[in-house]
Structure 1
Amino acid sequence: MSVPVLLYATSSNYTECRKIIKRFLNKIESLLNLMSTPILKSFIGWRMVALAFFLDFCAVGYSFQSFPVVVLELSREFSLSRFSASLPIPIFMIMSSLFMPFIGKALDAGSIKRILSLGALVYGLSLISLYFTFSYFFFLMIFTLPIALGVTMMGNISVSKLISVWFRKYTGRALGIASVGVSFAGFVFPNLTSFILNDLGLTWREAYLIFGILVLVINIPVVHFFIVDSPREINQFPDGDDKEEINKDDLEKDWAIEELIKDKNFWVLSLVFAIQFCSMMGVLSHVTFYSEGKGWSQSWAAFIFSMYAMPAIASKIIFGWLVENKLDARVAVTISLIIQSVAILSIFFVETPYQMVILVMLFGFGGGSALPLSNILFNRAYSNKSFGKARGAAQPFISVFQISGTLVAAWLFDFYGNYDLAFIMLGSILIIPLITIWFFEEELKSNP
């Protein structure tokens, strides 16, 4: 302690001296507390985007993107009709949509990291359990209940919430890049699954066993060690800014479910993307069957399905960037719907697998933007604070339409013996969202 302070203390100002020492000790304590909090100089938000890409890739890849190849084996093993073979994905989506409102609410209120970890655990164990199934009924039960739960917890709604926490100005770009994982899985997993089944000679059960083990030994540690729930945890700010004078989360409106279902934008967005996803799923669920029906090999069928993915990757990034840079979101959705519709209705002119590849790529570029655009518009309409709740509340409605495309296309094939009427329907219904999207009021509705 300095001499002036000692003199000051000995001259009957002991109380004042104690105050000085106490302030000094408080500053030391504050410094130690600050040092105990991890501080990273470089912004790690883009690392969260990369992790979201990876988790989306795994969530969709091991289940949905591998299924169009696996279903060909299931159909032969269990002698399934086209309608029965098409059931797993629609029921999966119904159950996922029922789980989603609860998961969305939990994401808004709790730890994203914890939900991702639990989802990876459920997902991995459920995939492994498929190895022990020897009836189609039990396959359906596992695929549509625990696997659907695991995918929903580890998948798009969770990682989209993570991205929306880490970004404000660059939300469109970040969500677009993260959702590329879904499309990249669409390129990798059909070909990988075909390689496992046809080239390595393994069964579909062994393929799922491998997938489940990979989820447990890779995804869970990745989430545990690298996911950070929010910038605040490591003294950073959204978008990598140096400071955030006002915490926008505290100012944003927390939408109640009752308010959401009374809001016009909620139903406009739900209907638009419900029908777009309905059309997409109807085509994607049957493109491998259609290809085999044309006399092309199973390897060709898997390759054709996978070629949806690469243009969809570009589409997600391009449309996300365009909307972020002030392109009217309604224009972006309109463009994607027109491209998707033209591609579907052009299938009737296909004669070779090479022509089918070109059309599937065009279809992928149109439909590939639907996922990031839906997340961007729900986030824009209902704020980061209520994104999980709004997106989760819309999903049951969206899923009802989404699964109908797959089931109606299967029923029409079983009834008529071809996909002609099914593809006409799936291409033509897009006129409804083309009109409906223009009722969306493009304005931020986050403030009360």
Structure 2
Amino acid sequence: MKKAHSKKIFFGWWVLAALCSIYATVNGIVTLSLKRFYPSLIETFGWTQSEVTQPISIFYFIIAFLTPFIGAALDRGNPKRIILAGATLILIGLVGMSQMSSLNHFMAIYIVFSFGVAGAGMASSMYILTRWFRRHRGKAVGILLLGGSLGAAFFNKVTGDAIDMIGWQNTTLLLAVLAFLFMIIPWTLVRTDPSEKGLFPDGIERNSGHKSIQDGPSLAQAFRSPELYLIFLTTAALWFCIIGFGQHQDIFFQKELGLSSSKVTNVGSALFLFGVVGKLIFGFLSDSFNKKSIMAWSILLLIIGNLVLYIIAIKTIELSPYWYAFTYGIAYSGVFTMIQIMIAELYSGPSYGKILGVVLTIDTLASVAGIVVLGKMSDYSGSYVTSIQLMIGLCLTALILFLLVRVKSRSTLIGNKKD
């Protein structure tokens, strides 16, 4: 009698776990937790709000131009090696930051970070994930992106507490050690394609009816679709607000509202923890309900989050900043998740890397604009109130633009194969 064998866990889930750890570290440290250094750097070097956020603006600007090249490299190269190269540059940047002595030095470090994040960040992880998952893509994307929120919550707390205890220079070295543990070691589990393990997407059989990875529009076909331009405008407006204010959040709460450093740290961690909830909720909902409707609801929730932030800023009503963390955390994570899912749903295929690279470039340029404009507005007016009013208007505009998007079938998007 043959011995029964238990069903093995699909290896794609292990790949997803590794990508989660890497993305959690890249996103958690470089793009979301290093802003905890801003108040200390302002105090140490006497920089202004716009000066201390200038390097991150350059960082996003460089990423915007690197991303299309990374996308093209992903389509024809080795994503796993690209991730390793990026992770290594991030480690170099963190060690170099501990020796920082001037604003130019700070900018140089962020240039290194930009190359690192371009290689080890969202584009590479999403590219690999879309090869491993089709039927469970919504869940997989939600889980991947919640890694970013978990990493942000963890590293934000570690960074804030460590700065208070051991100073900002030693904190950068601590982050370098943690980055090695959470990026390089999990990287060994990553495989670019299920075929490397003799598997198929979702662990299913080849004859299950799933479309080939070669199905999907080319870059030229995608650019002939008006929906792509509406997506450009929608996501650009959203990233202007989300990333733009995200880099000013700690300055707003600590310098303008006068909250203690520890409370600012806790509010930031709460924001990211609620982001975990948002990514899970919206990721799972996207596999069961109309994706466009779910995306629209996430934008509406972001508008509510901005209104809560506005009430906190004008101080006419005493409102805890944790209400902002709750509404904004769930909202921005839902928006982020749904954007990635919809782009993968519409454009995955042989040109997915290039198309994703173009979308990320547009979003990154909008992020740069948000960081610069919101900083300049706050410097000029002495408050973030007008900046928040601008964000409310842009989010309303994004919702209207997105409602104009008609989500077509993949066959319509692909069109004539002779293209």
Q: Give TM-score, length-normalised by structure 2.
A: 0.90
Distance 1:176 1:120 in 2: 22
The amino acid that maps onto 1:209 is L
1:216 and 1:343, CA in 2 relative to 1: closer, same or farther beyond 3 A?
closer
Aligned length: 403
Counterpart of 1:232 in structure 2 is 195
The alpha-carbon deviation at position 354 of structure 1 amounts to 6.7
Contact 2:267–2:325 under 8 Å retained in 1: yes
The amino acid that maps onto 1:265 is E
Distance 2:48 2:203 in 1: 53
Counterpart of 1:410 in structure 2 is 375
The alpha-carbon deviation at position 203 of structure 1 amounts to 2.8
SS of the residue corresponding to residue 253 of structure 1 reads coil
The amino acid that maps onto 1:321 is F
SS of the residue corresponding to residue 221 of structure 1 reads helix
Counterpart of 2:337 in structure 1 is 372
Distance 1:334 1:302 in 2: 30
Counterpart pick for 1:288 among 250, 260, 263: 250
Deviations 1:131-154 (A, max 9, x none): 2221111111211x2111111211
Counterpart of 1:32 in structure 2 is none
Counterpart of 1:297 in structure 2 is 260
Which runs of 5 or more residues in structure 2 are unaligned? Answer: 1-6
The amino acid that maps onto 2:377 is L
Counterpart of 1:57 in structure 2 is 24
Deviations 1:141-190 (A, max 9, x none): 211x2111111211111111111000111111101111101111221122
Distance 1:244 1:103 in 2: 32
Contact 2:311–2:319 under 8 Å retained in 1: no
> Would you say 1:91 and 2:53 are equivalent positions?
no
> Would you say 1:220 and 2:184 are equivalent positions?
yes
The alpha-carbon deviation at position 247 of structure 1 amounts to 7.6
Counterpart pick for 2:397 among 418, 432, 435: 432
Distance 2:228 2:112 in 1: 29
Distance 1:42 1:345 in 2: 44
The alpha-carbon deviation at position 41 of structure 1 amounts to 4.7
Deviations 1:61-87 (A, max 9, x none): 221222221011111112111111222
The alpha-carbon deviation at position 300 of structure 1 amounts to 0.9
Counterpart of 2:346 in structure 1 is 381
Counterpart pick for 2:218 among 255, 268, 277: 255
Distance 1:354 1:439 in 2: 35
1:332 and 1:238, CA in 2 relative to 1: closer, same or farther beyond 3 A?
same
Distance 1:353 1:243 in 2: 59
Contact 1:300–1:353 under 8 Å retained in 2: no
Q: Which has the higher contact order (CA 8 A, sep 6+)?
A: 2
SS of the residue corresponding to residue 368 of structure 1 reads helix
Distance 2:185 2:155 in 1: 22
Counting only pairs closer than 5 Å after superposition, residues 42-81 of structure 1 correspond to structure 2 as 42-81=9-48
Contact 1:281–1:402 under 8 Å retained in 2: yes
The amino acid that maps onto 1:335 is W
Choose 1 or 2 for highest CA Rg.
Answer: 1
Distance 1:108 1:439 in 2: 30
The alpha-carbon deviation at position 250 of structure 1 amounts to 5.5
Contact 1:183–1:313 under 8 Å retained in 2: yes
Distance 2:213 2:300 in 1: 39
Which runs of 5 or more residues in structure 1 are unaligned? Answer: 1-39
Q: Give TM-score, length-normalised by structure 1.
A: 0.85
